[in-house]
Amino acid sequence: MSAIFLLIALFFCLLVGVPVAVSLGLASITTMLLFADQSLLSLAQRFFHTMQVYPLLAVPFFVLAGTFMTTGGVAKRMIDFANALVGRFQGGLAMAAVLACAFFAAVSGSSPATVVAVGSVMVAGMVSSGYTKPFAAGVICNAGTLGILIPPSIVMVVYGAVTESSIGHLFMAGVVPGILLTLALMATISVIARRQGMPRQPSVSWRVTLRAGREAIWGLLLIVIIMGGIYLGIFTPTEAAAVSAVYAFLIALFVYKDIGLSDVPKVLTDSAKVSTMLMFIIANAYLFAFVLTTEQIPQATSEWLNSLGLPWWGFLLVLNILLLAAGNFMDPTSVVLILTPIVFPIAIEMGIDPIHLGVIMVLNMEIGLVSPPVGLNLFVTAGVADMTMEQVIRAALPWLMVLLSVLMIVTYVPSISLALPAWLGWGNG
Amino acid sequence: MALALAFMTIITFIQVVLRYVFGTGLVWSLEATTYTFAWLVLIGMSYGVRTRAHIAVDLFSNRLPFGARRAMGVTVSGLCLLYCGFMVYGSTMFIDGLFSLGNNARDIPLPRWLLIGIMPIAFLLLAFRFLQAMRRMLARDDKDQILKKVPVSTAIGQERKIKIVKSR
């Protein structure tokens, strides 16, 4: 009874357009007041404590590091480097765009930011070297989703905090699927390019490549610091995030010299705004999760699923469909926050690795970002490429197939996600 | 807000440096960071309403005629106000309990009720912003362009989109 009320209240609020954070909070509070003897006091207490969950502190720091890196000309340098590496092949510029997205994803934890940073340069560049605009927009739109899969990823931090899984472990698990997706996109481009005779860039000497690499290395070192630092146990993910924010600040200001000291307050305010908004949702989502647990809703769902006799692969299929559907209507962080408390206990009972589940969720969210009607990357690409939503949706659709096939492979071959962390000695789980 | 974020980042960074270079640490740094973050978020909530940063599903409201949209807008603000009311009440009781206990935070020499006291105030501020939004919504007429325009669904997207349009 309480479960039905909770979900109806939540969906009603979401549908009439109440902000996601307030929807979660209001649905949880009213359910608590009507069906459980929890007081408002204990809910307020919970709300405050969520904001003091230590792993979640990584969110504002990663946002800050990403903003410093986006403001600067980091994207330009990564594009140059990617171009020097793969531009010589047929369809090279498009491949370079994908590679640049992957590089950039490694310094920013957000997909739309990746699309804006790489797309604003690359779409025009590809069109002027003879690619069609829909092709260029489709490539960028989809490659931009790498932002939340390749660490640092804010969605992964949130998932890790909610499920109390290791964030470092999740980051490691995102690396191989991220590379796989990058290669899949590049391979598809290569096939299309051969068939349609797309242009190649003049090949460049190794000296030029090296110089471009040296320029880009300062940005790429960020990911090395984060991953290396966490892996070697030098610092916690939260501290890694703070260190990377300071590092990004130093690089943007003193090495690349793209921004001046006077830009810093604006970068700080922007980041504070984004992290506040995320945190407001997260704090309310914790209330929601709290209600779910006290009302034993995941257990009930789990029992019901068991009675259906669904095998683990069937469950994963249903999960993928559910996540894709939800991802079409909401942003990644909200979906992860709403669905994780429900599906996580069930998945664990089915023997699915929590880290693997995290990677599956993130991949699904990537696809949600590029599928209509409210895929955020579609909006951003429409803005960057100066196209209408319909055009972008049509342009992005063929590439969606590539993402979907990678999702299927990653879902059913857990070792793609889990091999790297296991090999590094972190075991399973 | 900018200062709060800078403070948190620097404190945490210094903590790492102290640990590895000098082998010491600041006892109060963790607590200072988490409390600063809480304050940042609580104050930022109402700023978010003012700058329209909060994410909502606007898929359906975009397709409605003007009158229905306005009614919806008012309902939404009403529901948000209800939420604020609950939170103000709950957090006031929370503070009240802490006040009568009167104990200090673990590592910072300040009473806990003072540190958490921002919470009811923040939710009152939030309520004030929602009230403003509701009044704006009621005051709008048919010709209002803002209400007709298709809003973009999330904060980051919204902001960047505006920037891109402007720069063109």
Q: Do A52 and B37 touch (CB under 8 A)?
A: yes
Task: Name the residue among B61, B55, B147 with its Cα closest to residue A274.
Answer: B55
| pLDDT at position A322 | 86
ipTM of the prediction? 0.79
Can you tell me the mean pLDDT for A200-214?
83
User: What count of other Cβ atoms lies within 10 Å of the Cβ of residue A260?
Assistant: 9
- What confidence tier does B2 reach under pLDDT thresholds 50, 70, 90? low
| Residue A58, CA distances (Å) to A46, A103, A196, A243 in order | 20, 21, 45, 10
Task: Name the residue among A145, A144, A158 with its Cα closest to residue A60.
Answer: A158
| pLDDT at position B145 | 42
Q: Do A60 and B40 touch (CB under 8 A)?
A: yes
Q: Over pLDDT 70: what percentage of chain A? A: 98
Q: Do B15 and A239 touch (CB under 8 A)?
A: yes
List, in order, residues 6 or more apart from A195 with CB less than 8 Å away.
none
- Contact present, A399 and A142 (Cβ < 8 Å): yes
pLDDT (tens digit per residue) in A261-288: 888 888 888 888 888 888 888 889 888 8
CB of B51 within 8 Å of a chain A CB? The answer is yes
| pLDDT at position A406 | 92
CB of B85 within 8 Å of a chain A CB? The answer is no
**A273 token code pair:** 């705004």
No. of helices (H) and no. of strands (E), chain A:
20, 0
Task: Name the residue among B51, B71, B78 with its Cα closest to residue A277.
Answer: B51
SS (H, E, C) A155-166: HHHHHHHHHCCC
List, in order, residues 6 or more apart from B109 with CB less than 8 Å away.
none
Among B9, B58, B152, select the one facing A61 at the smallest CB separation. B9
Can you tell me the mean pLDDT for A410-414?
89
| Residue A141, CA distances (Å) to A39, A83, A189 in order | 46, 18, 14
Give the span between the Cα atoms of B52 and B35, in whole angstroms. 25
CA diameter of chain A: 72
Task: Name the residue among A4, A28, A47 with its Cα closest to residue A294.
Answer: A28
Chain B interface mutation, best of A277, A370, A387, highest count of B Cβ atoms under 10 Å: A277
Task: Name the residue among A150, A116, A165, A158 with its Cα closest to residue A222.
Answer: A150
- Angle of helix A58-71 relative to helix B2-17, nearest 10 degrees? 100
Sequence-ordered alpha helix ranges (H) in A251-375: 264-294, 297-308, 312-327, 332-349, 354-369
Asked if pLDDT for residue A425 goes beyond 50, the answer is yes
Q: Which residue has the tokens 């068991």?
A: A306
Decide which of B26 and A340 is more confident.
A340
Can you tell me the mean pLDDT for A387-395?
85
Q: Over pLDDT 90: what percentage of chain A? A: 15
| pLDDT at position A373 | 66
Give the span between the Cα atoms of B122 and A333, in whole angstroms. 24
**B41 contacts in A (CB within 8 Å)?**
51, 275-276, 279-280, 283
Q: How far apart are the CA of A79 and the nearest CA of chain B, in angstroms?
A: 20
Task: Name the residue among A361, A300, A340, A337 with its Cα closest to residue A23.
Answer: A337
Secondary structure class of B111 (helix, strand, coil): strand
| pLDDT at position B60 | 63
Size of interface A-B (CB pairs under 8 A): 215
| pLDDT at position A95 | 92
Secondary structure class of B110 (helix, strand, coil): coil
Amino acid found at B149: K
Give the span between the Cα atoms of A21 and A191, in whole angstroms. 44
Among B6, B10, B86, select the one facing A29 at the smallest CB separation. B86
| pLDDT at position B158 | 34
- What confidence tier does A230 reach under pLDDT thresholds 50, 70, 90? confident
Q: Do B83 and A384 touch (CB under 8 A)?
A: no
Q: Do A380 and B1 touch (CB under 8 A)?
A: no
Can you tell me the mean pLDDT for A110-123?
84
Q: Do B155 and A273 touch (CB under 8 A)?
A: yes
| pLDDT at position B151 | 37
Asked if pLDDT for residue A133 goes beyond 70, the answer is yes
Secondary structure class of A129 (helix, strand, coil): coil
Q: Do A272 and B2 touch (CB under 8 A)?
A: yes
| pLDDT at position B27 | 67
pLDDT (tens digit per residue) in B36-87: 888 888 888 888 777 766 777 666 666 667 777 777 778 888 888 899 999 9
- Contact present, A212 and A81 (Cβ < 8 Å): yes
Q: How far apart are the CA of A119 and the nearest CA of chain B, in angstroms?
A: 12
Give the span between the Cα atoms of A250 and A262, in whole angstroms. 14
Q: Do A234 and B40 touch (CB under 8 A)?
A: no
Can you tell me the mean pLDDT for B117-127?
88
**B35 contacts in A (CB within 8 Å)?**
52
- Contact present, A295 and B53 (Cβ < 8 Å): no
Give the span between the Cα atoms of A89 and A201, in whole angstroms. 7
Asked if pLDDT for residue B163 goes beyond 90, the answer is no
Provide DSSP, A53-93: -GGGGHHHHHHHHHHHHHHTTHHHHHHHHHHHHHTTSTTHH
- What confidence tier does A385 reach under pLDDT thresholds 50, 70, 90? confident
Asked if pLDDT for residue A422 goes beyond 50, the answer is yes
- What confidence tier does A97 reach under pLDDT thresholds 50, 70, 90? very high
Q: How far apart are the CA of B128 and the nearest CA of chain A, in angstroms?
A: 15
- Residues 122 through 151 of chain B touching chain A, CB cutoff 8 Å: none
Q: Do A379 and B86 touch (CB under 8 A)?
A: no
CB of B18 within 8 Å of a chain A CB? The answer is no
Q: How far apart are the CA of A246 and the nearest CA of chain B, in angstroms?
A: 7
